[in-house]
Structures are given as structure tokens and as C-alpha cells.
Amino acid sequence: MAILSLLLTGDGMNAYMAYKVSTQTSLTMFRSKTFTVRRRFSDFLGLFEKLSEKHSQNGYIIPPPPEKSILGMTKVKVGKEDPSSAEFVERRRAALERYLQRVVCHPSLLQDPDVREFLEKEELPRAVSTQALSGAGFLKMLNKATDAVSKMTIKMNEQDVWFDEKIQDVENEEQHLRKLHVMVESLVNHRKELSGNTAVFAKSVAMLGSSEDNTALSRALSQLAEVEDRIEQLHQEQASNDFFTFSELLADYIRLLGAVRGCFDQRMKAWQRWQDAENMLQKKRETEAKLLWANKPDKLQQAKDEIAEWEAKVTQYERDFERISATVRKEVIRFDMIKYWEAFLPEAKAIA
């Protein structure tokens, strides 16, 4: 699967980018071995929304899409010939391809009809309500889920040390990367500021050289201005490289860690649902005991029926918790395995 090319469709501020998604596969569940479709950015957000609704509650890690950049797209729409616009488009293409690769490499998500439809269907219904899923909206959604877990009425008494250790590892890694991301953004801003100051200095030296009567000194100042111009461009390139190859990838991985943390939150919510049912069952049994003590046989049958109902719920919720726990364990092990192999990949490429 690859995103091969892009097409700016429409005029002015109503224009949008259409991404050419090309797929080659030997899997029999697809209609053909090779197919190509065009997708908008909102289609990618819509796919994430559908997958989250169906699979996140079951403990799956749903890869997050890249952030929506209003500033970047505005530059593309109004400044088509701007080199920075072309660079933004290429970075966006790579980020979407990375997101889609994570989705199709997931054995369970690949089986989802919405994924197959996204890859195969010529036209998709226009994705709506995706504004909250882009940019800070995605982080707010994850934080909202985490807040819901933190407000649980019962403190989870973790019986499996493995889950405690893993969630601690994820939270620590996310915290450290967030601090690193802040420092990298600060570095990028300093480089941009240095680039701007160098440009001002180069312009001042050039003006000084043009007004200098001494020919040798004038020539030296002009050459110095040219050197400063090149240095300014170098600072600008360094700032751009630091942002796209470091800061942007850090932000991408932080969002991915947020998705990993989200699957742990879903497990805790399943446990809370089970414990709430246990508490309700206990209350129903206490109600039955009071009715027996008060000798009210007319209400006793209803109490017994409610007890049977909540016993069934407790059994079901316990099974759900065990099922989600098994899924989360499998997902996190898979996530760690991919991380280890990705760390080895540069060594393998060096051999090749």
C-alpha cells in the first residue's frame, strides 16, 4: 500500500487535496490484486472514527491519523508555487501513508469492512463530524477517556503485575517524549529566530557595502553579505529539517503512545463495569434478605428475578473483562515487537 501522488482539486480556499492510494495484494478478500482510489484528508479521519467506534472498546490499539494543519493547507491553497507548500504536501503524504500502513498491518483491523471499502471503493460518502478528531481534538478525546477512568468510584486492585508494569512503561515513555518534544520545538523556534536575525544582518551589511566609497572594503562587505545570505538559508533549512524529521515524528509517536494508553483505559472501564454489576448484585441480594425478614412474599419473586438478571450480567462482564485483558496483552506485545524490529531496521539496511 502506498500513497503515490496528490491532486489539488478546486479553486481558492474551497480547494482540497486528493490523495492517490494505490494497493497491491495477494489476499483473496479483495476484489482484485491491484487497485487505486483517491481520498481526501477527511476520509482518513473518517476511517479512524469508524475503527475507534467499533474496536477501541474491545482493547485494540487504533493507530491515530496525522494532525490537521490549517496553516499548512492555507499556504498550499494560496501559494501553490511556494517551496514550503510543496514540502508540507510531501510531509502530509508521508504521514498519511505511515498511518494507513499501521492500519493495514494490523491483522484484525485489516479484516474490517470499512478498511477494505476505504482501499477499494471508488467513491466514499463525505466524512462528517471529523473536526474533533484532528489536531488537538484527538488528544482531548484521549484525555477525556483517561479522565473517565481516573474518576472511577472503585480503585482497581490489579492482580496481574504485567499490566501494572506495562502501563507504567507507556506513561513514563510518553512523559519523557513530551518533554523532549517541547525542547525540540524550542530548538526549532530558536533556529527560525536565528535565521531571521541573520537575514537582517545580511541585508544591513549589503546596504553598508553599497554605500562604502572604498572599493576593496565595499567588495569585502558585499561578499560578507552573500555569505550571511547562505548562512541564513542554512539556518532555515536546519529549522525545517528539525521540525519535519524530528519534531513531527516525535508528535506522531506521542499520539501513538496515547492510543496504547487508551487500550489500557478500556480495560479499566471494563473492570469498572464488572465491579459496578457486582455491587448492584450485592444490593439486590440485600433487598431479597430484607423482604424475607419482613415476610413480603408478593415482592420476593421480583427480587429473585432481578438477582438472576444481575448474576447473568456479572458473569458476562467478567468474561468481557477477561477477553479485553487478553486482547490488550496481545496488542501491547505486538506493539513492543514492532518497536524492537523498527529499532533493528537501520542495522539491516546498513548490511544491504
Average pLDDT of span 249-255: 93
Average pLDDT of span 97-124: 93
Average pLDDT of span 326-346: 90
Domain ranges within the chain, ordered by starting residue: 1-134
Is the confidence at residue 28, as pLDDT, over 70? Answer: yes
Q: Do 114 and 124 touch, CB atoms closer than 8 A?
A: no
Of the chain, the end-to-end C-alpha distance in Å amounts to 23
Q: Would you place residue 158 in the very low, low, confident or very high pLDDT band (cuts 50, 70, 90)?
A: confident
Query: Which contiguous run of DSSP H or E holds residue 177?
Result: helix 161-211
- Pairwise CA distance, residues 181 & 253, whole Å: 10
In percent, the amount of the chain with pLDDT more than 70 equals 86
Nearest to 248 by CA among 307, 184, 308: 184
Average pLDDT of span 296-317: 93
Q: Exposure pattern of 242-253 as b/e (b: 16+ CB <10 Å)?
A: bbbebbbbbbbe
Q: Would you place residue 314 in the very low, low, confident or very high pLDDT band (cuts 50, 70, 90)?
A: very high
Q: In whole numbers, what is the pLDDT of the chain averaged over residues?
A: 87
Which residue carries 515513555 as its cell? 173
Query: Which contiguous run of DSSP H or E holds residue 21?
Result: strand 16-24
- Pairwise CA distance, residues 77 & 73, whole Å: 6
Is the confidence at residue 323, as pLDDT, over 90? Answer: yes
Pairing of strands 16-24, 2-9: antiparallel
Q: Would you place residue 124 in the very low, low, confident or very high pLDDT band (cuts 50, 70, 90)?
A: confident
Average pLDDT of span 74-92: 69
pLDDT attached to residue 8: 75
- Pairwise CA distance, residues 2 & 22, whole Å: 5
- Pairwise CA distance, residues 348 & 332, whole Å: 24
pLDDT attached to residue 79: 58
pLDDT attached to residue 13: 65
What lies within 8 Å, CB to CB, of 203 at 6+ separation is 225
Q: Would you place residue 132 in the very low, low, confident or very high pLDDT band (cuts 50, 70, 90)?
A: very low
Is the confidence at residue 52, as pLDDT, over 50? Answer: yes
* 329 alpha carbon, distance to own chain's centre: 20
pLDDT attached to residue 2: 87
pLDDT attached to residue 68: 81
Sign for the CA dihedral angle at 278, 283, 287, 290 comes to: positive
In percent, the amount of the chain with pLDDT more than 90 equals 61
Query: Which contiguous run of DSSP H or E holds residue 39?
Result: strand 34-40
- CA dist list (Å): 225 to 160, 194, 216: 66, 16, 14
Please report which residue ranges of 109-160 form alpha helices under DSSP H: 113-120, 136-150
Average pLDDT of span 318-343: 94
Query: Looking at 302-345, which runs of residues are DSSP E strands?
Result: none
Specify the fold of 1-134.
Answer: PX Domain (3.30.1520)
- CA dist list (Å): 273 to 278, 314, 340: 9, 9, 35
